[in-house]
Structure 1
């Protein structure tokens, strides 16, 4: 009977420890992606295309939902520069789901931004975005792939 009790206690303890570790990893992924999103939004809302591009890998791939694929920081920087010239601002990200490990993170998020006023009405845009982040050689998280669509 003592052996059964000890085995049961060991199984319960193991389950609690592994569940706690998994929960901690999930919270770390969530916290890390929230910080990455805050940095991204800050650069976007400051109309800083150079800082935005630096958040991507040198060979990052981005698809802005128009069927085109951009590769590399220079193309990504030019895309964001064109957005700022068009008056886009007030970018926000709301995480739908996030997961990953110590080398790779991904998120699906809702995004929104506003554009210039036309006839007294501020244009609003929104959609869904997916990002995959990897650690670079220095241990910094950078976007490796990024794709979004526009829902309106």
Structure 2
């Protein structure tokens, strides 16, 4: 079940957020901060903190042709990850791009789970995130897409 659940879940996430971009920001700092917050919330299994990184109108496609709508459905997906023992999530940025109040990153991701025989199974892939500032000046994910290597 875990092996089937992870690939379907780690594919596409799209989020809508309010746009009020500030002119002064360092794209790499924005990406680094977003990655630190996401990894910390996920690795601490802090479902509330993780969910709040997404806009209230977030949509997420787990790669199976379905779309999850809103923070509650997204939270249920991440809760499933936690229940299946996914942990030790890491993001390693490959490239950062910035334009018109948006910051994007191309990165590698990885996460571990315990296999049936107690061995550590590492899942990994490539992700792309697009961040945009909301009206409060906080950076939120507006698009998050990832895949999983086989």
> Displacement of 1:62 after TM fit?
2.5
Aligned pair partner of 1:108 in 88, 106, 114: 106
Deviates more, 1:45-54 or 1:66-75: 66-75
1:30 paired residue among 23, 28, 31: 28
Deviations 1:13-58 (A, max 9, x none): xxxxxxxxxxxx8x91012101110010000000112111100111
Deviations 1:107-137 (A, max 9, x none): 1111000012321311110011111111111
Q: After the TM superposition, which residues 113-132 of structure 1 pair with which residues of structure 2 at under 5 Å, given as runs? A: 113-132=111-130
Instruction: Name the residue aligned to 1:68.
Output: 66
Higher relative contact order (CA 8 A, sep 6+): 2
> 1:2-151 maps to which residues of 2 (within 5 A)?
28-101=26-99, 103-151=101-149
- Between structure 1 and structure 2, the one with the greater Rg is 1
Segments of structure 2 that go 5 or more residues without pairing to the other structure are 1-23
Deviating 4+ runs (over 4 angstroms):
none
Q: Distance in 2 between matches of 1:109 and 1:65?
A: 18
Normalization by structure 1: what TM-score? Answer: 0.76
TM value normalised by structure 2: 0.77
Higher helix residue share: 1
Deviation for aligned residue 1:87: 0.4
> Helix, strand or coil: the match of 1:59?
coil
